[in-house]
Amino acid sequence: TELLDFACETLAEARASLAREGLADNTPVELGIMVENAGALPLLPQWLPRGDFVSLGTNDLFASALGVSRDDPVAGVGIDFLHPGLLRIIHGVIREASSLGKPVTVCGEMAADPLGAIALASLGASRRSVPVRSLRQVRKVLASRLGAPADELARALLAATRASEVRALLASHNA
């Protein structure tokens, strides 16, 4: 909350400074709320009205939510970004943000993975931030799903209890 306060105050001060100098600028500056830690999730209802969009960092969010260190080579072996718990967290954020008309952007390995991108699109993520090396493959898989019923897949994904179930669902919808 302190960082969000700081960002909002800084934007307001910058606008006031420009106005004092006769350079008033009414160009909208979007303020994003970056969520990379599970501890931020309960604060979203208070934060969302102050931001224009949400950005989910799935790598850090996964590590935080599931108590896994991203830097631990042993723990890193078991990381599966299609963990049902993470999908439910992401869905909750998207639902909360959507209720206020706020788009949700997702970055991280999940967004760069074709199956992860399908899952995110099905759950309602507005945008994905994808590294150039993965862009062609992610665009191709998402383009092939244009018009596909996302609600049905989203319900099935949210009902899954194992990452292997999630992968099987996504693979069958990607065939």
In a 10 Å sphere around its CB, with 0-12 CB exposed, 13-18 middle and 19+ buried, how is residue 128 labelled? buried
Q: What is the mean pLDDT of residues 123-136?
A: 92
Q: With pLDDT > 70 as the criterion, what percentage of the chain qualifies?
A: 93
User: Residue 84 corresponds to which tokens in the numbers above?
Assistant: 């049902």
Q: Give the C-alpha separation, 125 to 47, whole Å.
A: 18
7 in Cβ contact with 30 (< 8 Å): no
**Local confidence band at 77 (pLDDT 50, 70, 90 cut-offs):** low
Q: With pLDDT > 90 as the criterion, what percentage of the chain qualifies?
A: 64
**Local confidence band at 66 (pLDDT 50, 70, 90 cut-offs):** confident
Residue 72 reports pLDDT greater than 80: no
Count of CB atoms situated within 10 Å of the CB of 22: 6
Residue 13's pLDDT is 92
**Local confidence band at 148 (pLDDT 50, 70, 90 cut-offs):** low
Angle between helix 150-159 and 84-99 (nearest 10): 130
Q: Tens digits of per-residue pLDDT, 92-109?
A: 999 999 999 999 999 988
Residue 116 reports pLDDT greater than 80: yes
Q: Give the C-alpha separation, 150 to 170, whole Å.
A: 11
| Dihedral angle sign, alpha carbons of residues 125, 131, 135, 141 | negative
Query: Per-residue b/e over 153-165, b at no fewer than 16 CB within 10 Å?
Result: bbebbbebeebee
Residue 73 reports pLDDT greater than 70: no
86 in Cβ contact with 108 (< 8 Å): no
Q: What is the mean pLDDT of residues 68-95?
A: 83
Residue 85's pLDDT is 94
Q: What is the mean pLDDT of residues 125-132?
A: 92
| Dihedral angle sign, alpha carbons of residues 156, 162, 165, 169 | positive
